[in-house]
Amino acid sequence: AELIDPAIKGTLNVLKSCAKVPSIKRVVITASIVSVVYNGKPLTSDVVVDETWFSDSRFCEKNKLWYMASKTLAEEAAWRFAEEKRMDLVVLNPGFVVGPLLQPSLNYTSEVVLAHTRGENIFPSSIYWLVDVQDVAYAHIQAFEIPSATGRYCLVERVVEFPEILKTLNELYPTLGLERNHSFPLINDRCEELHKPLKRRYQVSQEKAKSLGLSFTPWERSLRETVESLKEKGFLSI
């Protein structure tokens, strides 16, 4: 009730409004990578996820992944509506968006990164599909303006695990004390993991996204710029 209904109705409300305006030639929707990867297929290290993947709403509902279900059902509804109305629809599927903040307040993703600086993970998963906010914004413009843009576009720079994010933060900002701060049990639990060799994870294809002229920002730089933005706006003091 809190996630699925608003996602579907909100998406369709906008599309219905667009369909009433003859001068609108194309609609670009911001969906999510979670409407791509949650289908029950094993995500082993040799897997490359691409735009042909679709999450299974029944799998999401069965596993009580309500946010994933809401994004999946909303995108499915959008494609059905676009086909019915013969609307030129382009869908972008970004991962977990990080980078500098425009607004003066915290949003959910910046709250998650702020928690990372304390060694905490408030995200419901230990796996992150990271992408820079500036790359996502640029992709929207390109998807709208390039005539040949079509279908879906996965926008993920790298699939990263929480311990790797902690390790990178510790290297960028040693004064955070992520390895020696005993105030947070989670950090102590993760200390050993910070020094383990990193496992190779599955990948998300960038081939189609690069056809929009997109050159992905390395996730480490995006993470650093997020932290610097949090410092600048007074949410973090290091």
Contacts of 18 (CB under 8 A, 6+ apart): 24, 27, 87
Tell me the sheet residues that pair with 129: 159
The residue ranges of DSSP E strands in 60-132, in sequence order, are 89-94, 96-98, 127-132
Beta strands in 89-162 (DSSP E): 89-94, 96-98, 127-132, 151-155, 158-161
Pick from 23, 43, 190: nearest CA to 116: 190
For the annotated catalytic residues, the residue numbers are 71
